[in-house]
Amino acid sequence: MCLGVLTVCLYINESNSLKFKRQVLRCLKDRIKANFNVSVSEIAEHALWQRSCLGIACIGKDKPYVNGVLSRVFDLMDTYSRAEVIDTKMELY
Task: Give mean pLDDT in consecutive 10-residue pieces for the chain, a chain of 93 residues.
Answer: 97 94 96 96 93 97 97 96 96 97
CATH for 2-92 is: 3.30.70.1120
What pLDDT was estimated at residue 13?
92
Burial (CB < 10 A; 0-12, 13-18, 19+), residue 90, is middle
Q: CA–CA separation, 83 vs 11, rounded Å?
A: 6
Q: Helices (DSSP H) in the chain: which residue ranges?
A: 18-35, 63-78
> What's the pLDDT score for residue 49?
92
pLDDT value for 24: 96
Instruction: State whether residue 71 is helix, strand or coil.
Output: helix
